Structure 1
Amino acid sequence: MSTTGSGPGGSAAQVLRGLHRDRAAGDPLVLPGPWDAVSARAFEAAGFPALATPSAAIAVSLGYEDGATPAAEMFAAVTRIVRAVSVPVTADLEGGYGLPAPELVERVRESGAVGVNLEDTGPSGELKDPRAHAEWLAEVRAAAGPELFVNARVDTYIRGTSGPLEAAIARALLYAEAGADCVYPIAAPAADLPALRAALGGLPLNALAAPHGGPAFAELGRLGATRITFGPGLLLRARDDLAALATGIRENARG
């Protein structure tokens, strides 16, 4: 069920890119985050037109801490998810695992994913130099051509940066110039979305949402979000539900 081929609507990458275009203000693209084939199929069956894997959720599902999943295991997990569904899949590949841009792009192609989420946090937890990161993103863009949707994550809000909004805008504009298709100032508060939207012009803006609570998706869209993702939130919600189920089964077994 790989999505890498072309069909009546064009390649899966073109389909994914098209989903970000011409969206009404109150109708952002909502992309749930599968962590395995079962969750991917559940989200597809619910009618979502594309999926966005979260690296933190895949890490938890494989028994790793966030950021500690070996690259080979992450690519293998993404490959299984892509194989399980017929909708486009974009993959969170953290900071790119230190891979040169051409090798990263080739491994993404081999996985079947048609989009990537690449963050600007370095391996030691520090923010990367924005210009150096932009240069690397430009190399990814050049190696991939149009058949890869690049979502550039901006981490100023989660790294204790002074003036995170202004820093996020500065980084986002550099990444956009480097060829990013979308920018993702992760954990930006809803109140900052209008300023981010205004600064970015027509470039798609990714916002993080909780699986329950927080502003409604339509409200996030009206504030400026083009698309909405969840990080590991959906897995954590499923984990809590599974824990409650396990407790109920155990209590039933005790009579």
Structure 2
Amino acid sequence: MAVSTEQKRATFRKLHDSGCFVLPNPWDVGSAKALQSLGFKALASTSAGFAWSIGKADNQVNVDDACDHLAALCNAVDLPVNADFEGGFAREPDQVAANVARGVATGIAGLSIEDSTGDKAAPLYERALAVERIRAARRAVGDSGAVLVGRCEAFLWGLTDLKMVIDRLTAYAEAGADCLYAPGLKSREHIAEVVKAVQPKPFNLLIGATGLSVAQAADLGVRRISVGGSLARTAWAGFMKASREIAEQGTFTELGNGFPGGELNKMFG
């Protein structure tokens, strides 16, 4: 019996109440089903991983593509799915709200809204506008039960003023974000300081190839961990290594490192 959207959202909200959980990031239906089979309690989409899977660069996917992708993920698994909803696919709060409403309608259990503009000259939206965008997203989420995540992208753009990041995150919390996220934080000191500043609301930590363990992050008060496009990049690494060997050397030895097809058939069967 399929798990309803309402059940997924209730389960997801409960996960944020205590402890620390990992929501790894699949990029398509197959990777989502594989992660479900490994026992994870929730998943998160990855804008980059999905974009690469359809031959686009990150941040070049439109809201139509994103919503179709999210609906497919939600329909494929019984787990809650948190959407990487980029910047809401719009600048103005009213349009962000309209797009968020579309996102919620796909069946997701949560979604994040970023404050980055994509413009290197002015990488973050002005604070007042950024806060209003979160407030608009909050209105669109309404009483659906979906979790709204407010993201400050400062560290990813080389803006490493922690006080500014904390100021924005706390403002996003006041504007209605249920969970806060500042990708790019690396030091334990920074993570602990942000966790303390946004409490009692949960903080999402991004961990890539290196970083803390789940237990170490939990000790700092982190409530949830995601890995962004890292799993997708790992899969692409194997694909590109084998493909380049064939193209450049005319040999096929890397194909011997592939995951067994029989096990894949068993998993998806």
Report TM bin, short chain.
Answer: 0.7 to 0.9
Q: Which of 198, 201, 216 lines up with 2:199 in the alignment?
A: 201
Segments of structure 1 that go 5 or more residues without pairing to the other structure are: none
TM normalised by structure 2 equals: 0.83
Question: How far apart are residue 46 of structure 1 and its match?
Answer: 0.4
Question: How far apart are residue 246 of structure 1 and its match?
Answer: 4.5
TM normalised by structure 1 equals: 0.88
Distance of 2:202 and 2:154 partners within structure 1: 18
For 1:19, the equivalent position in structure 2 comes to: 15
Tell whether the 8 Å contact from 2:28 to 2:50 is kept in structure 1 after alignment. Answer: yes
Task: Give % identity.
Answer: 30
Is 1:139 matched up with 2:126? no
SS at match of 1:78: helix
1:176/1:73 CA distance change after superposition, 3 Å: same
> In the alignment, residue 101 of structure 2 is paired with which amino acid?
E
For 1:71, the equivalent position in structure 2 comes to: 63
Distance of 2:104 and 2:199 partners within structure 1: 30
- Please report the RMSD computed on the Cα atoms of aligned residues, expressed in angstroms: 2.0
Once the two structures are superposed, the pairs formed by residues 1-255 of structure 1 within 5 Å of their partners are 4-6=4-6, 11-23=7-19, 28-98=20-90, 100-125=95-120, 126-146=123-143, 147-161=145-159, 163-191=160-188, 192-210=190-208, 212-246=209-243, 251-252=251-252
Tell whether the 8 Å contact from 2:245 to 2:252 is kept in structure 1 after alignment. Answer: yes
Between 34-43 and 58-67, the greater mean CA deviation after superposition: 58-67
Tell whether the 8 Å contact from 1:169 to 1:196 is kept in structure 2 after alignment. Answer: yes
Tell whether the 8 Å contact from 2:18 to 2:223 is kept in structure 1 after alignment. Answer: no
Question: How far apart are residue 87 of structure 1 and its match?
Answer: 0.7
1:2/1:236 CA distance change after superposition, 3 Å: farther
Segments of structure 2 that go 5 or more residues without pairing to the other structure are: 254-269
Distance of 2:151 and 2:18 partners within structure 1: 22
> In the alignment, residue 78 of structure 1 is paired with which amino acid?
L
Question: How far apart are residue 130 of structure 1 and its match?
Answer: 2.0
Q: How many residues align?
A: 243
Question: How far apart are residue 57 of structure 1 and its match?
Answer: 1.0
Could you report, residue by residue, the CA deviation over 1:210-230 in whole angstroms, capped at 9, with x for unpaired residues?
Answer: 2x4322121122123111111
> In the alignment, residue 108 of structure 1 is paired with which amino acid?
G
